[in-house]
Amino acid sequence: MTRRTGRRPGKPGTREALLDAARTAFAERGFDAASIRAIAGTAEVDPALVHHYFGSKDQLFLAAMNFPVDPGQLVPKVLAGDRDAVGERLVRTFLGIWDSPVGGAAQALLRSAVSNEWTARLLREFVTTQVLRRVLENLDVDPAELPLRGSLVATQMIGLAMMRHVVRLEPVASADPETLVAMIGPTIQRYLTGPLPS
């Protein structure tokens, strides 16, 4: 018997439902292929409301990507502990993010970055300025080596995400996280603190 005396300006959950549906759709199909109609459909909302709430498809994407993961909070956790195991901790944290609900947004970003230039730019800038820069500037490596080390780490991390969550190549796709940590951790460690060739 919910008596509704005051006015109810639309269901309050529609905006969140829209964001949820958008995250899933972008994750599964990428930016271009995910359609506003389909997103509104799974959210059981009229497609026109998307424009009413977010203005455009681009802004819907940005709103959906604005996920609750704070690199500034995560990075210290990775750096805590001995320096020789930072690689393993980075892989473990990385896998944790992808296997969590937030992973949908990450998958959306990765999938979209392949077919869409401005989302690729988004991914590039997020990786470099938000993650790698933060990690590396706390590891007292030569600043001149920072970009190369960072992008090497990115090749392995993005490749791992691609194979595990996008292309789904077995057995990596369903491997135990700790197996991957044990195998890939040393790789990251060497890229971060190992010797460089030049």
Partner DNA sequence: GTCTATATGGTGATAGAC
Partner DNA sequence: GTCTATCACCATATAGAC
Report the residue number, 78 or 123, with the smaller CB distance to a second copy. Answer: 123
Q: Which of 36, 43, 113, 131 binds a second copy (CB under 8 A)?
A: 113
Q: Distance between CA atoms of 27 and 15, rounded to whole angstroms?
A: 18
Closest CA to 160 of 90, 62, 84: 90
Q: Distance between CA atoms of 67 and 95, rounded to whole angstroms?
A: 16
57 contacts DNA (rule: CB under 7 A): yes
Place of tokens 């009413």: 52
Q: Which of 14, 116, 130, 151 binds DNA (CB under 7 A)?
A: 14
30 binds, among DNA, a second copy, none (CB under 5 to 8 A by kind): a second copy
Q: Distance between CA atoms of 38 and 44, rounded to whole angstroms?
A: 10
Considering only residues 138 through 177, tell me which ones interact with a second copy, judged by CB under 8 A.
Answer: 147-148, 151-152, 154-160, 162-164, 166-173, 175
Structure-token pair, residue 52: 């009413």
Report the residue number, 63 or 158, with the smaller CB distance to a second copy. Answer: 158
In 66-116, alpha helices (H): 71-79, 86-99, 103-115
Q: What is the DSSP letter of 180?
A: H
71 contacts DNA (rule: CB under 7 A): no
Can you give the binding site for a second copy, defined by CB under 8 A?
Answer: 29-30, 32-33, 111, 113-115, 120, 123-124, 127-128, 147-148, 151-152, 154-160, 162-164, 166-173, 175, 178-179, 182-184, 186-187, 190-191, 196-198
